[in-house]
Amino acid sequence: MIYAQPKVSLQYHPRTIKPSGQLPWLSTATLSVLRLCLVILVIALPAHAQKATPRISGQAIYNLTEQYVTTAPHRWVGSPDHLKAEAFIKSHFAPEVAKGTFEVDSFSANTPVGLLAMRNYIVRYPGKKDGVIVIASHYETNYPLKDINFVGANDGGCTTALLIELGAYLRAHPPEGYSIWLVFDDGEEAIKEWTNSDSLYGTRHLAAKWSANGTISKIKAFLLADMIGDKDLNIDRDANSTPWLLDLLHQAAKNTGHLANVFKYDTQVNDDHLPFQQRGIPVLDIIDIDYGPRTSALPDGYHHTALDTMDKISPHSLQISADLFLEVIRLINQR
């Protein structure tokens, strides 16, 4: 947590109290006690006057995740729950819809099962500096797992909730630095089997679109949230992320007291940041891919199984992740 040190005008001047003359009825011992009390009071005042930097509540993210996966548990592309997921997201951005800063980016994706209608949602919060920080998460569930009870509490669920809570935060605390755009992207998961052409549909579409119309030149950093709710949270050092943003993430963890929760493992993740990385945009994937114990029955832990449920994530881990995102944003703005 970062504290702003307030200015305190009260000062202690020991010569303003004299043991004789002005206050003859006070003994020297009594005056010494009074002086000590005054010094303690002055020292203590800043601690009481300190005002914490506004935070996003991990418990609020957890509660919203629970609402989301209850409302739209099986939200694979083209399903009824996918439509419910979209409605859920839009319902939390009524002010932005009214202001015209909420965009529906509809497109058709050529997939192994034919053309599928997909939609990205982009919410814009104007800042005071020229440039944009994009924060993205996919919101759908895995299509090949559509016939099992896969709800993706950690994989797409809690990150969608994080972005919604980020929106509420930015509504109350508009960006002082770069503009911030929240992107709820569709079709991150493969429709049949993960390949370069059967994955990342939403961000591949958006990166191509923004390249064509020049928007991509405004992006200072693309931050991705994925699988950030694991009870045993440790954010990976992703080799596909930009080195200076990894350095900023490490600094953010140090500043917020979360160093124990980052960079235990080095990994290289194929994820929604790749279409932007391939176009030269600085990218950072904030992800804990090591999710749950790995066994012969569960070689990837809870990842992409019916065990990716609410009991596997925690408000504490979501608090850590929210703190890291806000601090990384602050550090980017300071560069």
What is the per-residue pLDDT across 233-275, written as a single tens digit (0 to 9) for each? Answer: 999 999 999 999 999 999 999 999 999 999 999 999 999 999 9
Give me the mean pLDDT over the 319-326 stretch: 98
> For all residues of the chain together, what is the average pLDDT?
89
Tens digit of each residue's pLDDT (9 = 90 or more) over 26-60: 455 554 555 654 544 444 444 433 456 789 999 99
pLDDT at 40: 46
The 10 Å CB-count burial string (b at 16+, else e) for 82-110 is bebbbebbbebbeebeeeeebeebebebe
Q: Please name the residues in contact with 115: beta carbons below 8 A apart, sequence gap of 6 or more.
A: 108, 109
Tens digit of each residue's pLDDT (9 = 90 or more) over 188-228: 999 999 999 999 999 999 999 999 999 999 999 999 999 99
For residue 48, the one-letter residue type is: H
User: Please, what CATH class does the domain formed by 54-334 belong to?
Assistant: alpha beta
pLDDT at 267: 97
pLDDT at 23: 42
Q: Please name the residues in contact with 48: beta carbons below 8 A apart, sequence gap of 6 or more.
A: none
Coil, helix or strand for 5?
coil
Query: What's the alpha-carbon Rg for the chain, to the nearest Å?
Result: 25
- 136 with 272: CB under 8 angstroms? yes
pLDDT at 10: 30
List the domain boundaries for the chain.
3-51, 54-334
CA dist 130 and 125 (Å) reads 13
Q: Is it the case that residue 326 has pLDDT exceeding 80? A: yes
Beta carbons within 10 angstroms of residue 136's beta carbon: 28
Give me the mean pLDDT over the 143-165 stretch: 98
Mean pLDDT is lowest, of 10-14, 134-138, 287-291, 293-297, for 10-14
pLDDT at 36: 55
Q: Please name the residues in contact with 316: beta carbons below 8 A apart, sequence gap of 6 or more.
A: 58, 231
Q: Is it the case that residue 121 has pLDDT exceeding 70? A: yes
